[in-house]
Amino acid sequence: MTQTIPVSLGARAYDVHIGNGLLARAGELIAPFAPSKRVFVVTDQNVARLHRPVLVASLDAARLKNWTITLPPGEETKSFHGLELLCRHLLQAGIDRRDLVVAFGGGVIGDIAGLAAGLVKRGIDFVQIPTTLLAQVDSSVGGKTAIDTPEGKNFVGLIHQPRLVLADLHVLSTLPAREMRCGYAEIVKAGLIADADFFAWCEANAAHVINCKPEALAHAVVKAVAFKARIVEADEREQGARALLNLGHTFAHALEAHAGYGDALLHGEAVGAGLALAFAHSAGLGLCSAGEARRVRTHLDSMGLSTDLRTLPGAPYDPNKMLALMAGDKKAEAGQITLVLARTIGQAFVHKGADAAKLRAFLEGEIT
């Protein structure tokens, strides 16, 4: 059974289809958005090996002429060099503005392919076919596209909404447990931000989600996508409520930058640690109870998402470097750090002008 979640953005509206077997139907679903009947698939080497034959057969069956551009896997691809390489591939292949780009992979591919589509010839439509749990529940929805720079994660990018998102749950069965845990961090985030009942459901069902049990997995993906869709509808360009989706991410992005954006620390792992840090710092400031902060940390640890900065991959972390990276975060204003903190589970809020001295002391306590 396929469930469809609309993202209502007026002229930029689109649907997110969630279910099994969508990859085999991709051609017929994509065809209305490819007036030239020409499709440029951007993927990585791992996804191409596992899933490209099914997608290409579907595109061929729909009489869509298609080309595949295969990039190296990993966060390192999200760079100026990777973006230039992809844009030049598209241009040399003769792409025009009536063609369609298909981002076929995880968050890295979705980010760089969406950004290239938004830039080449001043904008080409694209479709997201996310193949990781993290990409299905988070990065494929909302139109954020970007590359990383030495100064920070996702510092160069734009908002370019897809025309369609196809989240085939069946492809998740090929993911290693580590990737499933990364995606789970973005699922549980929805409960921590605004739905205490969903967090309680996660505590009871997280193992089923990570182990790809069909009913639990479908429920979690639909719940997370619907939550994000409503936030994006209310605040597409992150001027208000959408900032709540950054719960844990100011910490997480600093951790990733500190660790060098390699495979040692994946984005979802950094988010898991960031969520625990956001609640621990909230408790330290007297905003939420220490018991709730412990509850969040205990749950994340139990799901294999390490929350101890002393042993987190990429350690040792330096509190002063962490603070400098956080001060340079995209959400900072006039040099003041902006955090998303919590009053309780399910009640997150944006906290501007965070006290740097208190934050440094908190980080020192977590790291030493």
Q: Which of 179, 238, 256, 292 is catalytic?
A: 238
Q: Which of 153, 189, 249, 258 is catalytic?
A: 249
Q: Which of 78, 160, 189, 246 is catalytic?
A: 246
Q: Which of 51, 78, 144, 258 is catalytic?
A: 144
CB environment 40-78: b (16+ within 10 A), e (fewer):
bbbbbebbbeebbebbbebbeebebebebbbbebbbebb
Q: Looking at the DSSP assignment, which residues form a beta bridge with residue 339? A: 351
Catalytic site residue 160? no
Catalytic site residue 253? yes
Question: For residues 59 and 38, what is the distance between their CA atoms, to the nearest angstrom?
Answer: 10
Catalytic site residue 228? yes
Q: Which of 186, 256, 269, 366 is catalytic?
A: 186
Q: Which of 267, 281, 297, 331 is catalytic?
A: 267
Question: For residues 274 and 204, what is the distance between their CA atoms, to the nearest angstrom?
Answer: 22
Q: Which of 78, 160, 223, 228 is catalytic?
A: 228
Catalytic site residue 49? no
Catalytic site residue 242? yes
Q: What is the DSSP secondary structure assignment for residue 357, as one 8-state letter?
A: H
Q: Which of 253, 297, 299, 331 is catalytic?
A: 253
Q: Is the Cα torsion angle 222, 115, 271, 214 positive or negative in sign?
A: positive
Catalytic site residue 170? no
Q: Which of 51, 181, 242, 331 is catalytic?
A: 242
Q: In what order do the strands lie in the sheet with 164-168?
A: 3-7, 14-19, 164-168, 126-130, 100-105, 38-44, 65-71
Catalytic site residue 144? yes
Question: For residues 302 and 160, what is the distance between their CA atoms, to the nearest angstrom?
Answer: 36
Q: List the catalytic residues.
A: 122, 144, 186, 228, 238, 242, 246, 249, 253, 267
